[in-house]
Structure 1
Amino acid sequence: MNWPLRQDTAFFPPVAAPRVSGHLDCGDGHQIWWELTGDPAGVPVVVVHGGPGGAIRPYYRRLIDPDRQQGVFFDQRGCGQSLPAGALDRNTTPDLVTDMERLRAHLGFARWIVLGGSWGSTLALAYAQAHPQRVAGLVVSGVYLARPFDQWWWWHGAGHVFPEVFAARDAWLPASERSDPRGAFLRRIRDPDPAIHREAAHVLMMAEGQTLDLWPVAPGEDFAEITDGAVRSARIFAHYEAHDYFLAPDQLLRDAARLAGIPGAIIAGRSDMCTPPQSAWDLAQAWSDARLHIVPAAGHRWNDEQLCRPIIAELARLTGAG
């Protein structure tokens, strides 16, 4: 976030630090970082961050009602405070699904509510379809189904709304590679040589950043500005994108029947240029137990004041507080 929240925000008050936290050994060289906030007796709500390659952000804690809910946060493999940082080996969607189930058992929750946004919605859906008996409720926003359409939109479609941004992105590539920016950027970002992947990561992430908020901040032009953490994030993203997110074609819609009986909500910002509402609509047609909210004048990220309102309201409904 690059600006303070409004005083009349729907967010709950800031939480300075988690109540308890630690690393969970996954047994195959990875240790995932986890945190708990809120009421120890409250309904557990596990928050699944975006990316791939994102991390827990402090303001995510403000989505959780501290008097009725218990927030569960974790950094996915290679992300945030998880170890080893940036690791790509044994880092797949099935591995992350297993980690979530391992974390649930470690914390002693019989069931929990799952909240995921952006790539987090993808992982939340994959987890809920694999372990529906463990999901008391499911809320997803900025829905990304990892279909060819969704990938096309991210690399090409949004360029119809941001023509100057995408043109600048592609102009960085040699003219001979501009017809396939996806392949060109993925090759560079996945290259082990920092002299190759660092600059490519900067260019791609700066372009994406312009699509996430209704009023995005101006992108930086100095390649030295990109942090090591941002480079690791870009490389994890490229790892997943290059492998089609380790999902079978159309898997999340094909297996949506496994969500039957799980109450939930699907939330989309009308002006979300990163994951447009079409995917939310398509999911709603396949998952009849979910409420669909398409929020006017809302964007992609949870720091959007308009987008957060139905998220918080739906979590309250699912925890019996609404």
Structure 2
Amino acid sequence: MANPRACGHLDCGDGHQVWWELTGNPAGVPVVVVHGGPGGSIRPYYRRLIDPDRQQGVFFDQRGCGKSLPAGALDHNTTPDLVADMERLRDHLGFERWIVLGGSWGSTLALTYAEAHPERVAGLVVSGVYLARAFDVWWWWQGGGHVFPEVFAARDAWLPAAERGDPRSAFVHRILDPDPAIHRPAAHILGMAESQTLDLWPAAPGDDPCGITDAAVQSARIFAHFEAHDYFFAPDQLLRDARRLAGIPGAIIAGRSDMCTPPQSAWDLAQVWTDARLHIVPAAGHRWNDEQLCRPIIAELARLAGAG
């Protein structure tokens, strides 16, 4: 993968410095890529989604994530803060409008941004749609156990028996505990379980809780912070406000075999955001390293960039 042609830290206030990168053609249509998580970061393979001849990719690490500073920070780290950071970055880079691409938690943030600033969105593509409703939370923590019974059972068996009825509260409480002896193993156990739901052919997880990296712990703590605050949304806020997307061209893409964010949420969003094309991709999973999932994303970005 080519190195970015420009990069740097943007001062976003509250002590936060957000890392950003530009790739592709300086004269191309800007496409801002919103990574997953909460607590994820820019991945090198994201760059292949951008046509380097006709588009310019805008990548950034959200507050506390990746190369953004301070690493792992939870203070002043909310969904409205992240939306404001995107606007600061757009203004800093001098773009009047841009295409917004988000996957997984990135779809949540991309939709929130587009609902808040529809006039700045030339097009919108989301995959692995997560709407942060009660259903979505239930599926992630419990519903997926109908497909991965042994994975979820092993996860919950790590908890005291009295806490297994509410694994969300139990894990979030432990991961946010300031004591590394408590939060590191909890982050490891939860990460092992999640890793088995992301790909059609997942790698075998490690079994050494001491082997979890500091970066993975920071990521887990940011995730738990957003979980503890219900992603800073009112109930059903994201889908209810999807009417604000009217007039924005775009696409909603779901892997038929996405066990992390199943296609139901993509379908529900498509019923409200009727300007979007819905693709449910056979034999595709959740992440952008899935070739089957990437093909319609690249095609839809090309369509939207051509219309811009």
Q: TM-score range by the shorter chain?
A: over 0.9
Q: Which amino acid aligns with 1:193?
A: D
1:177 aligns with 2:163: yes
1:169, CA displacement in angstroms?
0.2
SS at match of 2:13: coil
Q: What is the TM-score normalised by the length of structure 2?
A: 0.99
User: What is the 5 A alignment of 1:196-207?
Assistant: 196-207=182-193
Q: Which sits farther off after the overlay, 132-141 or 245-254?
A: 245-254
In the alignment, what sits opposite 1:211? 197
Q: 1:27 pairs with 3, 13, 17, which one?
A: 13
Q: 1:186 pairs with 151, 154, 172, which one?
A: 172
In the alignment, what sits opposite 2:219? 233
SS at match of 1:198: helix
Distance 1:243 1:28 in 2: 19
Q: Which amino acid aligns with 2:174?
A: R
Q: Which amino acid aligns with 2:269?
A: L
Distance 2:304 2:166 in 1: 44
> Per-residue CA shift, 1:184-243, capped at 9, x if unaligned?
101100101101000000000110000000000001000121100000000000000110
Q: 1:98 pairs with 84, 101, 124, which one?
A: 84
In the alignment, what sits opposite 2:258? 272
In the alignment, what sits opposite 1:71? 57
Q: 1:293 pairs with 279, 283, 287, which one?
A: 279
SS at match of 2:258: coil
Q: Which amino acid aligns with 1:21?
A: C
Aligned residues: 308
Distance 1:226 1:321 in 2: 45
> Per-residue CA shift, 1:82-126, capped at 9, x if unaligned?
000000000000000000000000000000000000000000000
Does the CA-based 8 Å contact 1:48-1:116 persist in structure 2? yes
> Which aligned runs of 4 or more in structure 1 are off by greater than 2 angstroms?
none
> Per-residue CA shift, 1:104-155, capped at 9, x if unaligned?
0000000000000000000000000000000000000000000000000000
Q: 2:238 pairs with 236, 252, 257, which one?
A: 252
C-alpha RMSD over aligned residues = 0.9
Distance 2:163 2:90 in 1: 45
Does the CA-based 8 Å contact 1:272-1:300 persist in structure 2? yes
In the alignment, what sits opposite 2:112? 126
Distance 2:300 2:233 in 1: 28
Unpaired runs of 5+ residues, structure 1, are 1-14
Q: Which amino acid aligns with 1:209?
A: S
In the alignment, what sits opposite 1:283? 269
Distance 1:37 1:303 in 2: 19
Does the CA-based 8 Å contact 1:267-1:311 persist in structure 2? yes
Q: Which amino acid aligns with 1:225?
A: G
1:159 aligns with 2:145: yes
In the alignment, what sits opposite 1:310? 296
1:321, CA displacement in angstroms?
7.7
Distance 2:236 2:159 in 1: 31
Unpaired runs of 5+ residues, structure 2, are none
Distance 2:197 2:211 in 1: 20
Does the CA-based 8 Å contact 1:68-1:321 persist in structure 2? no
